[in-house]
Amino acid sequence: MKQQEILFKCPIETHNFQAEFACFNQFCQSNRIFCFECIRNGDHNIHSGDQRKIADLFDFLENNRLKIEEFIQQLHQIQAYINKSFSLLEQGLKNKFLLTKAELCQFDPKQLSAAVSEIFQSKFVSMNILQDVNNKSLVLCDLINKCGGLFGLEDVNIDNQDYQRIKQVDELLQNSQDLMLTIKSDYNKPKVYEAMENLKKLLSINPNEVQSLHLTAEFLKILKNYNEANIKADQALQRDPKNPQLLQTKVEILKELERFDEAIQWADKILFIDPNNLQSIKIKAECLKSLKDYNEAIRWADKALQIDSKNLCSLIIKFESLYNVGNYGDAIVWAEQALKIEPRNLQALIVKSGSLRLHANQNEAIAYVDSALKIYPLNRYLQEIKLMCQSPYPYIQQPPSQLQGIGLFQRFPCNPLIPQQNINFNKK
């Protein structure tokens, strides 16, 4: 129905005219909608310049609707900023204080002493910060409630059923987040399915809720259901396209789907926002290696190592890429760096053994392979290297450009126990 066809009776019951006018005066105490008889009786005469046709009222209401939507969007941006600050704080605390025993074993005595001192200090600091944040949050909540009063929202009825639904959503979301933290520290498949059931209920209530979609994508990624995880990540990104945690999830999923070019493009979006994002730099380097762009992989692995010189994944990407471009001397050097951090790292043992053989140092290669076989006696790659060293033709001269390399851990650069099938150590 067109606006001009909408008819309203005058609010004053004794008037028999249709309401054709609206008053736009801010301080008017009379009926905002009125008829010709109201004008005849002198209503609104003191601010006659603020009288408009009833059709103008719809334009006014539409403009106000747009302003309120903009106001709500600004509130969402403030909320997103707060959430991002909390996420960064959470990630920083995890990176600094949630250290595994293996990581602590890599510390020298001074580093370990400093870490213990910081832990004692953090207990005192965390207590004060928690109290301060809690007090500030109470002030913020009080301010938000006052805003509701200023808008007259106490007149808007939120019935008990709606309240219970909101409470259920909060509880399910919190439970899912707690399960994610538990699973990251101690993988438990039943807990993953429990979390998925919670999120299924959440999305049935609100299919567009970003946190629920993001968590669903994360749990699907844990279950290695990467295609479904990618769909959920895309749905979340449609509503929050600049969320760095969401973008990171998308990059990781694309890498697992072996869509390496796309993963690099999405990693670049994160790096545009945060040029020193270590995880994105590592994934970009790994994808470049998977695409056999080894020189670029080395360059990006170097960027990661500038941020964290002891990052094992970055070291693995670097020495594998060096091997694949035929730079066996440097491959040995960087494999040794990895072995200082993790002496039983299988990738490093294999690459160093293979590089020693191809570096024309057969006796040293045999001795080193023998020591590696004491750790992994059934590893066929180490066995193959030893056989090649003992053959009458320990290596065949071949230009590095034709070298296929080992490439045996392209999809699993951080896992020393999951080799791929294609390997040839008889190339130089």
pLDDT tens track, the chain, 428 positions = 444 456 788 888 888 888 888 888 888 888 888 888 888 888 887 887 888 888 888 888 888 888 888 888 788 778 777 877 877 777 777 777 777 777 777 777 877 787 777 777 776 676 677 767 777 777 777 777 777 767 766 555 555 555 556 566 667 777 777 777 776 666 777 888 888 888 888 788 778 888 889 989 998 998 899 999 999 999 999 988 888 889 999 999 999 999 999 999 999 999 998 899 999 999 999 999 999 999 999 999 999 999 999 999 999 999 999 999 999 999 999 999 999 999 999 999 999 999 998 886 788 889 999 999 999 999 999 999 888 888 766 554 333 333 333 434 333 334 333 333 333 444 44
Kindly report the number of other CB atoms within 10 A of residue 161's CB atom: 8
Tokens of 11: 């609010």
Output the pLDDT for position 154: 57
Q: Give CATH 1.25.40 domain extents, the chain.
A: 325-428
Output the pLDDT for position 28: 85
Kindly report the number of other CB atoms within 10 A of residue 186's CB atom: 8
Output the pLDDT for position 419: 36
Q: Identify the three-state secondary structure at position 9.
A: strand
Residue whose entry in the numeric block shows the structure tokens 């998925």: 196
**Order of strands across the sheet that contains 33-34:** 33-34, 21-23, 51-53
Output the pLDDT for position 360: 66
Query: What own/partner pairs with CB < 8 Å and gap ≥ 24 does 384-391 have?
Result: 384/423, 384/425, 385/350, 385/353, 385/354, 385/357, 385/425, 388/357, 388/425, 388/426, 389/357, 389/362, 389/365, 390/366
Is-contact 406 425, C-beta < 8 A? yes
Tokens of 412: 């699993």
Measured between alpha carbons, how far is 29 from 47 in angstroms, rounded to an integer?
Answer: 12
Residues with Cβ < 8 Å from 228, sequence gap 6 or more? 220
Output the pLDDT for position 256: 95
Measured between alpha carbons, how far is 168 from 181 in angstroms, rounded to an integer?
Answer: 20
Is-contact 20 36, C-beta < 8 A? yes
Output the pLDDT for position 416: 35
Q: Identify the three-state secondary structure at position 351.
A: helix
Q: Identify the helix (H) or strand (E) that includes residue 53.
A: strand 51-53
Output the pLDDT for position 293: 96
Kindly report the number of other CB atoms within 10 A of residue 267's CB atom: 28
Measured between alpha carbons, how far is 330 from 358 in angstroms, rounded to an integer?
Answer: 12
Tokens of 137: 């949050």
Output the pLDDT for position 17: 81
Output the pLDDT for position 94: 75
Measured between alpha carbons, how far is 130 from 123 in angstroms, rounded to an integer?
Answer: 11
Q: Which among 46, 53, 54, 3 has a CA at the least distance from the CA of 25?
A: 46
Residue whose entry in the numeric block shows the structure tokens 């760095």: 244
Output the pLDDT for position 71: 83
Kindly report the number of other CB atoms within 10 A of residue 408's CB atom: 19
Q: What class, spelled out in words, does domain 325-428 have in CATH?
A: mainly alpha
What angle do the packed helices 189-205 and 160-185 form, to 10 degrees?
150
